[in-house]
Structure 1
Amino acid sequence: MNEPTHHTTYHGPVINQNGDQNTGTIHYGTAGATQDAELRSAVEALTAELRRISAHLTPDQAETVEETLPVLALDRAEMAERGLTLARLGQIAAVVGPMAQPVADALGRLLGLLGP
């Protein structure tokens, strides 16, 4: 009996199961592999800053961050198309205050790389 192939929704692991013994492989995809080094660095910096302030977020703010994180795994063009989604992180940084200034700076750098 063959097991189905499972695909995640946003460039996450793909699990292929074959045969009666359920042996298979996990392919972790190429999310970010085609990004240039500067963009990848900006994404990593923003993600690190979001982790740093996560304990200080309200549940609604934390949910917004979680909903936005998959956008950071996209390529440059797809990320640029979702600029308004990323801008929601700027609103959170403004509410959290001075502690979140590094988030705002990292987000500004990333949005600057994505262009107008």
Structure 2
Amino acid sequence: MSGDSYYFGDNVNIHGGQGNVGMVKNQAAPANAPGPSPALLSAIEELRLLLEELRGQVRPVSAQAIDDSLPVITADAGVDPQQRYRALMAVYGIAATVGAVGVPVVEVVNQILELVGAH
């Protein structure tokens, strides 16, 4: 048993004082990490379409906020959940202030928030 080495997680060995560039991270994503559910993907696509329609019916400053939020909302799973939440709340706020035309956006944002467990 003496001399045996067992490594779990990160392992750093430095020999000498030059050329040290980093650390080997012995970590990987799970092989079968589940992607977003089909219901979530469908709701995000529906929201994208609704926001494109709403964009033409709001003031330029609100249209710019929609433009800024859409890439974060429609991005793949690699987006920080907090960033996506903030983008969803931004378009929710715009939709809530424009009356009946914004109701479908509000409903889909609520649906997305429920699907990701943030509501």
TM-score range, shorter chain: 0.5 to 0.7
Q: Note the 1:39-54 alignment, pairs <5 A.
A: 39-54=40-55
* TM-score, with length taken from structure 2: 0.62
Determine the C-alpha separation between the residues in 2 that align with 1:91 and 1:113.
19
Residue 115 (structure 2) pairs with residue 113 (structure 1) = yes
Unaligned runs of 5+ in 2: 1-34
- Which residue of 2 is the match for residue 94 of structure 1? 96
* TM-score, with length taken from structure 1: 0.64
SS of residue matched to 2:113: helix
Judge conservation of contact 2:70–2:87 (CA < 8 Å) in 1.
Answer: no
SS of residue matched to 1:89: helix
Determine the C-alpha separation between the residues in 2 that align with 1:64 and 1:54.
9
- Which residue of 1 is the match for residue 62 of structure 2? 61
Aligned length: 83
Judge conservation of contact 1:79–1:114 (CA < 8 Å) in 2.
Answer: no
Which structure's residues are more often helix, by fraction? 1
Q: Which runs of 4+ in 1 moved over 6 A?
A: none
Please state how far the C-alpha of 1:53 moved relative to its aligned partner: 1.7
Please state how far the C-alpha of 1:55 moved relative to its aligned partner: 1.4
Determine the C-alpha separation between the residues in 2 that align with 1:79 and 1:37.
20
Asked which structure has the greater CA Rg, the reply is 2
Determine the C-alpha separation between the residues in 2 that align with 1:109 and 1:54.
20
Residue 72 (structure 2) pairs with residue 71 (structure 1) = yes
SS of residue matched to 2:36: coil
SS of residue matched to 1:53: helix
- Give % identity: 28
Please state how far the C-alpha of 1:38 moved relative to its aligned partner: 1.0
Which structure's residues are more often strand, by fraction? 1
